[in-house]
Amino acid sequence: MLSAKELLEKHKTEGEGNLLRGQDLPRKTQSIKVKVTDVREAPSNFRSPVILDIEEVLDGRTALPLNKTNVRRCIELCGDDLMVLKGATITLIKSLVNNPQTKSLTFGLQISEISGKAKKGKKKK
C-alpha cells in the first residue's frame, strides 16, 4: 500500500503543483520572497482564481494559489494584466486568516510587495 504522502501526491489536482501555504513557513518566519515563473488560471475545481508558478522554495513548493484578496492586491500594485508578474519577485507576509472551509483560523499568505518586472500601467497622481 502507498504511504499517506504518496496517496496525497497521486490524488492532487492535475496541474496544481506543490502549493505554498502560510502554514508551510517555519514558526518564526514571518515573510518569504518568491520569484514568479508563470501565471495561469486555476482549474475549475479550485477555490482560488489564479495560480502562480514559482521557483522552488521550502521543500519543493512550486506554486502559489492567489485568492481573490491577493488578486485584488496584484491589480492595485501592477494593474489588470497579471502576466506582468512573470519574472517578478513577490514578498508574502504570513498572517492569521479565517479558513472558509473549516471556519477556523490558520496561517495564510498576503502579498506585501511586488518588485522586479511588474509595473503598474497607470500614471501616478
pLDDT digits (tens, 9 = 90+) for 74-88: 999 998 899 999 999
Please check whether residue 122 lies inside any domain of the structure: no
Looking at residue 123, what is its pLDDT?
44
Please check whether residue 47 lies inside any domain of the structure: yes
Residue range of the domain that includes 50: 13-115
Question: pLDDT > 70: what percent of the chain?
Answer: 79
State the total domains in the chain.
1
Please check whether residue 8 lies inside any domain of the structure: no
- Nearest Cα to Cα of residue 91 among 70, 69, 62: 70
| Residue 41 belongs to domain with CATH number | 2.40.50
Q: What is the pLDDT of residues 24-49, one digit of tens each?
A: 999 999 999 999 999 998 888 888 89
Please check whether residue 124 lies inside any domain of the structure: no
- Cβ-in-10-Å burial (0-12, 13-18, 19+) of 96 comes to exposed
Arithmetic mean of pLDDT, 65-78: 92
Please check whether residue 6 lies inside any domain of the structure: no
Please check whether residue 63 lies inside any domain of the structure: yes
pTM: 0.79
